[in-house]
Amino acid sequence: MPAPIRLALYEPDIAPNVGTILRLAACFDLGVDIVEPCGFVWSEPKLRRAGMDYLDRVGLARHTSWDRYIETSRPPRLVLLTTKGATPLPDFRFAPGDTLLFGRESAGVPDTVHDAADSRVVIPVAEGARSLNVAVAAGIAAAEALRQLGAFPASRIS
C-alpha cells in the first residue's frame, strides 16, 4: 500500500534537521523528496546522528533541482507549509497523495515555488513568535495529515 502522503524538503540548510525528518518519515512509513542543492555536504554521518538507524527504512528520492523535481516527480497536490500561508493548518483538508513541502530554514522558498504550490498552509503560532523549526513543523503537519486520513501506522503493544 503506498504511503498516504510524502514529505519534500526544498534546499535544506541543516543536516540534523534533515536527519530528524528522515527519522520521522521512517516511523510513519512516509517517502521523502530532497530538492537540492543542500546547504551542507550530504554525508551519512551528518544525517545518521539525528536519523540514527532509521535511515535505511526511508523511501528517499534526491532531485538535483526544483525544475528536475517538478519534471520527474510532480505530485497530485503540492501543499507548501509556510509562514506566508493562506490557510491555517487546522482548517486545511488533506487528501491521499498530497506532498507536504517545507522550505529552507534560512529563507523558505522563492516565489516560483510558492506559485507552483497548489495550497499554502500556515501552522499558527503565538503572537510574537516567527516560526517553528522545520523538523518540528514537519512532524506537526505530517501528524495532522495522517490523523485526517486515518493513516497512522497500526499501533504496537510492547
Q: Which of 36-50, 52-66, 70-84, 143-157 has the lowest mean pLDDT?
A: 36-50
Averaged pLDDT for residues 123-130: 95
**Residue 92 to residues 86, 87, 137, Cα–Cα distance (Å):** 10, 6, 15
What are the residue boundaries of the structural domains of the chain, listed by start?
5-149
In whole angstroms, give the CA distance from residue 128 to residue 70: 35
In the structure, what pLDDT confidence band is assigned to residue 53 with cuts at 50, 70 and 90? confident
**pTM for the whole structure:** 0.92
Band the pLDDT of 157: cuts 50, 70, 90. very low
If pLDDT is split at 50, 70 and 90, which confidence band does 126 have? Answer: very high
pLDDT tens per residue, range 67-121: 999 999 989 999 999 999 999 999 999 999 999 999 999 999 999 999 999 999 9
d(CA 10, CA 94): 20
Per-residue pLDDT, 56: 80
Residue 32 has pLDDT above 80, yes or no: yes
Superfamily of domain 5-149: SPOUT methyltransferase, trefoil knot domain (3.40.1280.10)
Helix (H) or strand (E) holding 20: helix 15-28
Mean pLDDT of the chain: 91
